[in-house]
Amino acid sequence: MSDIVKIKSLEKTYSNGTENLTIFKDLNLNVKEGSKTVITGQSGSGKSTLLNIIGSIDSATSGTVIAGPWNVTSLSEKEQALYRSKFLGLIFQFHYLLKDFTALENVYMAAFMAGMSKKQAKEKAEILLCDVGLEKRLDHLPGELSGGERQRVAVARALINEPELILADEPTGNLDPENALLIGNLLFSMAEKYKKTLILVTHDKNLAKNGDVCYSINCGNLKETNIK
């Protein structure tokens, strides 16, 4: 199995003009295609920063990130938009659903805006929403859904454009323990069903146990850990 993500000598340093804060330096990571990789660490350790750099949401100070055919660290703005819409599926701690659109509309709009016909996008969105257990909630607005249901919509939305790589940043962080377990299990099972590579950032050790491989970030260092 080949590597879908290759990170070499990555550094992220923030500067306010007088002081520098290095989050990590000389960080290296290879992610196998089809794998479920989990990254853990304390708040402020840099795990979300790392995910944001892979997702081209944040930029690295130095080093390289290769994701599939994309050199993420040297993309133009136009290329960044293509990379995110064509190659990535993104899931965040907050669902970022459009409040005036139904669950179905929130999912199919992502595909429609990427160039799919409205009819095909709606059909595909319905299938995905049924897959995540929301077949009876298609026409509900986000405000009419529970926190767990909103995250289910976010999972479906992340999958609709058939991404190669799913990046999930604390996807259960805003949920109660029962829903966190349900959504965590759902995310891993959907990634398995649709044969997607998953990189998930979490502080939840129970969720991390679902990964094929787990790393922790501490003091800027990334190390493989065993939390099974």
The identity of residue 56, as a single letter, is S
Determine the pLDDT at residue 118. Answer: 93
Determine the pLDDT at residue 144. Answer: 96
Query: Which residue numbers in the chain have pLDDT < 70?
Result: 227-228
pLDDT tens-digit series, residues 140-163: 999 999 989 999 999 999 999 999
Q: Which CATH superfamily is domain 33-62+73-225 in?
A: P-loop containing nucleotide triphosphate hydrolases (3.40.50.300)
Determine the pLDDT at residue 173. Answer: 83
Determine the pLDDT at residue 228. Answer: 58
pLDDT tens-digit series, residues 48-83: 999 999 999 999 999 999 999 999 999 999 999 999
Q: Where is 179: in which H helix or E strand? A: helix 177-193
CB 76 within 8 A of CB 83: no
Q: 138-166: b or e for each residue (b if 16 or more CB lie within 10 Å)?
A: bebbbeebeebbbbbbbbbbbbbbebbbb
CB 10 within 8 A of CB 27: yes
- Sheet containing strand 165-169, edge to edge, reads 88-91, 165-169, 197-201, 36-41, 213-218, 221-225
Residue 140 tokens read as 């509900």
CB 172 within 8 A of CB 183: yes
The residue extents of the domains of the chain are 33-62+73-225
CB 36 within 8 A of CB 210: yes
